[in-house]
A = this chain, B = another copy of it.
Amino acid sequence: MGLRSEFTVGIVDTTFARVDMARFAIEEVRSLRPSARIMRLTVPGIKNTPYGAKKLIDAGCEGVLVLGWVGPTTVDKISYAVASMGLVMLQLQTGIPIVDVTVHEDEAQHHRELVSVAEDRTRKHTKNLILLLSGDLSEHAGMGLRQGRRDVGPL
């Protein structure tokens, strides 16, 4: 599961999201892997992200970040389930890793907190995807890592 030094990362984001999370993701990729190529595709909402990820994989991406945003209602949670299932199915079809960064509008009480969650989760999961593409997250196994908030640590 090694990776050649120049590789291509895909980023799928949405117009539904209320934070431009792709900006943080691009910064992280540029910082961690300056030689990496980035392809980005913006779709309307979370249910369109499996389509977006497929397009990027078909276009040559070796790993994909999906930056989703989910509303607070039951219907929104159903859409989250459907999108997540699609992303899993796509990984089983292609063998390409997809890490989804999903922010739920009801997981914070204030806008500022939600922005902070979105940034932290995007940055950390971008690192996770890079590490996954490099084949090695095992030194952090069972460490209670969290994205969006502080790590809770091992028990």
B-contacting residues, A82-123, CB 8 Å: 82-93, 95, 97-100, 104, 111, 114-115
**Known contacts A85-B82, A144-B18; is A42 also within 8 Å of B138 by CB?**
yes
Chain A, 126-140, CB within 8 A of any chain B CB: 128, 132, 135-138, 140
| Max count, chain B CB within 10 A of own CB: residue among A20, A135, A155 | A155
Q: How far is the CB of A39 from chain B (nearest CB, A)?
A: 10
Q: Are A140 and B89 in contact (CB under 8 A)?
A: no
Q: Does A77 contact B (CB under 8 A)?
A: yes
- Other than the given A19-B155, A20-B143, A51-B98, 7 more pairs (CB < 8 A) read A17-B143, A17-B144, A19-B142, A20-B154, A42-B138, A42-B140, A48-B97
